[in-house]
Amino acid sequence: MYRYEQIGAAPAAWIAAARARESERPDRLFHDPWAHLLAGDTGWAMLEASERASGGENALLPVRTRFFDDVVLAAAHWTSQVVLLGAGLDTRAYRLELPPRLDVYEIDRPDSFTAKEAVLTAADAWPACARRTVEADLRADWRSPLLDAGFDPAAPTVWVAEGLLFYLGSAAVDELLSQAAALSEARALMVADFFGTGLLRLPSMRFLVEQCELTGWPLPFCTDDPVALLDRHGWRPCAITEPGQSDANFDRLPALPDDWSGGDDPTTRTYLAVASNGPAVRPPD
């Protein structure tokens, strides 16, 4: 379930179901009118099963999506390209008020686009900007297909890795971050989320960890030092926050102080990171 091979299927449908439910709330943090159809029966079943196992609604998912939305929208006045890494069933090119001049590149494996394109076409959905799909495996050569699709390394860019890096091994994460930095010759941001290594010690993760050990698969990627990770690959952190802190709460989560350091076990933290290929400053407005 947690392998990269499945990102375009079950987990993406699960996240779409969470976006659909959020969109139905009167106090919704965003509106995704296509998420219900994109989720399908698989997504709704997974959402129900995951929350039955955890004992309640996963409030992180809509908060994370809104955080990423805000970064993209804030950058839309200066950037000319947005790259959605492991785009899955993301509909930002359609649901956000993005300028028509903007190019949005969605990178994912070919099968991840099949059902998505059918749903959007049937719904007569039109993107707000130029949308370009790029069929590529993020563990292999995705740089060439992206360039072939028209991506301009000399243009300002926002790279979006929402709910992606966990599904990749450490080597693949290193390569992805380095390649994105190398393709960013002009002003650029990287926005990504990370889980601390304590996640892999949770009882709910035991089966997955054991399967990785038995098969030789790399463990899902986690880090307790996203600042060092990003810096090592050419990205200077502008903002590292945790869901629940003031800039990633939206009145949905138990409040965490902005100087939160993880409590009794800092390895169980979740990080939302914005980094620049320039000086380590707050993300540009």
Domains and CATH numbers, the chain: 59-276 (3.40.50.150)
pLDDT tens-digit readout, 95-153: 999 999 999 999 999 988 988 999 999 999 999 999 999 999 999 999 999 999 999 99
52 vs 109 pLDDT, higher one: 109
Give exposure, 15-24, as e/b (b: 16+ Cβ within 10 Å): bbbbbbbbbe
Share of the chain above pLDDT 70, in %: 94
> Which pLDDT value is given to residue 201?
87
Average pLDDT over residues 272-285: 73
> Which pLDDT value is given to residue 112?
87
> Which pLDDT value is given to residue 208?
72
User: Residue 1 pLDDT > 70, yes or no?
Assistant: no
Question: Three-class SS string for 210-255?
Answer: HHHHHHCCCCCCCCCCHHHHHHHCCCEEEEEECECECCCCCCCCCC
User: Residue 284 pLDDT > 70, yes or no?
Assistant: no
Distance of CA 183 to the CA centre of its chain: 19
> Which pLDDT value is given to residue 2?
42
Average pLDDT over residues 243-260: 94
Q: What distance in Å separates the CA atoms of residue 168 and residue 179, rounded to the nearest whole number?
A: 15
> Which pLDDT value is given to residue 150?
98
Helix axis angle, 60-75 to 10-23, nearest 10°: 80
> Which pLDDT value is given to residue 279?
64
Most confident of 46-60, 147-161, 194-208, 267-281: 147-161
User: Residue 5 pLDDT > 80, yes or no?
Assistant: no
Distance of CA 170 to the CA centre of its chain: 17
- On average, the pLDDT of the chain sits at 91
pLDDT tens-digit readout, 195-220: 999 988 887 777 777 777 887 777 88
